[in-house]
């Protein structure tokens, strides 16, 4: 059965080892993209959003699970990506990340050939969760083979 509806990304929740550290990190790093704190419940969660298409919910990891460190190659979240509207915005984010002292993964900005027009930069948050800032044309979402 096909449900006739246009879908869009809603939110992602990350369980983090230090809620304040991660909140400060994401607010600082994502501020050039218009992200701000939307709301919070002390010690329970912080919602950060760009006000139109992406919500990041940060929650503290329960103490009994803190002994298990995150690794993006293990089962679970590998990374998440935030789309921007142009390659220039990816370039600007690289400058911002550098000014904040956040190491860029790999060899820096990358133009990937697996889907045309895919241009990105990768970095890790304080828990080593990989974040991608990407610019791509609408073909990325198509069913067509490149």
Mean of the per-residue pLDDT values for the chain? 86
Q: Please give the model's pTM, rounded to 2 decimal places.
A: 0.84
Kindly report, residue by residue over 14-70, the tens digit of the pLDDT.
999 999 999 999 999 999 999 999 999 999 999 999 998 899 999 999 988 888 888
Which single residue is written with the structure tokens 């083979």?
A: 145
Can you tell me the distance from the alpha carbon of 99 to that of 15, in angstroms, rounded to the nearest whole number? 26
Decide if pLDDT at 5 tops 90.
no
Which single residue is written with the structure tokens 């600007």?
A: 92
Kindly report, residue by residue over 59-82, the tens digit of the pLDDT.
999 988 888 888 877 778 888 999
Q: How many CA atoms lie within 13 A of 69 on its CB side?
A: 4
Q: So what CATH class is 11-62+77-141?
A: alpha beta
Can you tell me the distance from the alpha carbon of 90 to that of 103, in angstroms, rounded to the nearest whole number? 15
């Amino acid at each position: 059965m096909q449900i006739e509806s246009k879908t869009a990304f809603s939110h992602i929740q990350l369980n983090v080892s230090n809620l304040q550290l991660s909140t400060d990190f994401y607010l600082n790093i994502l501020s050039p993209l218009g992200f701000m704190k939307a709301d919070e419940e002390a010690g329970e969660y912080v919602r950060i959003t760009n006000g139109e298409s992406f919500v990041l919910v940060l929650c503290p990891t329960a103490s009994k699970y803190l002994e298990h460190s995150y690794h993006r190659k293990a089962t679970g979240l590998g990374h998440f990506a935030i789309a921007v509207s142009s390659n220039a915005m990816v370039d600007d984010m690289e400058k911002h990340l550098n000014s904040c002292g956040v190491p860029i993964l790999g060899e820096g900005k990358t133009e990937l050939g697996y889907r045309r027009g895919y241009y990105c930069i990768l970095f890790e948050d304080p828990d080593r969760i990989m974040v991608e800032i990407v610019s791509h044309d609408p073909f990325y979402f198509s069913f067509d083979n490149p």
